Amino acid sequence: MNEAYPIIRFLVGDIMEQPFDLLFWPEDTMEVMGPTLGAIRSAVGDTTMKEAMDRLKDAQPLALGKILVSPFLPRPGARLMRTVIHDFARTPTASSALVLAVIRVGLQWAVARGCMAMVMPPLGVGHGGISAWEFGVSLGIVYGSPETLDEGRTLTVVAADQSELDHVVMGFNQSEAVGLLNQIPPGELH
């Protein structure tokens, strides 16, 4: 694996307007939510979404941490990766440890399958109960792992607004320090 880091971009905008061959989509255990739901609904049409929701009425809950991948029909060759990080029976519904694990496994899956342009919203933020800063820290920890991503790939994080973006970037930039603090045994901090 090359020691160089991949390109990472942070921006505010429409996630569906970004170039990607893999779209990360936060999902809940009953498969009914996600911040990009409106954009996906617009791309595939309300009839398709209604049919999908009708099929889910009697579905069994998905396990937290599960990753489901399917073709993303509005964009030929692209895939949709639904990451199950929310359980509305819990409070908070997501955790930063789960988000970190899902990002790591999802990116490893993407690299193994040749995905070059990946895009995601801040996973677990909002309904999930984790802060944009916590998402940024989780992303930064994964980004700093050479086994997760390699040079030449692009990961774009699309935030809902400038405040959310600022907190994601702050967490990302502080992730190395947070990772080091987590490695210090309790009692050794003064």
Stated pTM of the model? 0.76
Mean pLDDT, the chain, rounded, equals 76
Cβ atoms of 121 and 113 closer than 8 Å: no
Paired strand residues for 69: 81
pLDDT by residue (tens digit) across 47-104?
A: 555 555 555 555 566 777 888 888 877 788 899 888 888 777 766 667 888 888 888 8
Distance CA 100, CA 189 (A): 25
Containing 25, the helix (H) or strand (E) segment is strand 22-28
Distance CA 99, CA 133 (A): 12
| CATH hierarchy code of domain 7-183 | 3.40.220.10
Cβ atoms of 147 and 1 closer than 8 Å: yes
Count the Cβ atoms, other than its own, within 10 Å of residue 133.
22
Phi and psi (nearest 5°) for 71?
Answer: -60, 145
pLDDT by residue (tens digit) across 121-140?
A: 998 887 778 899 999 998 98
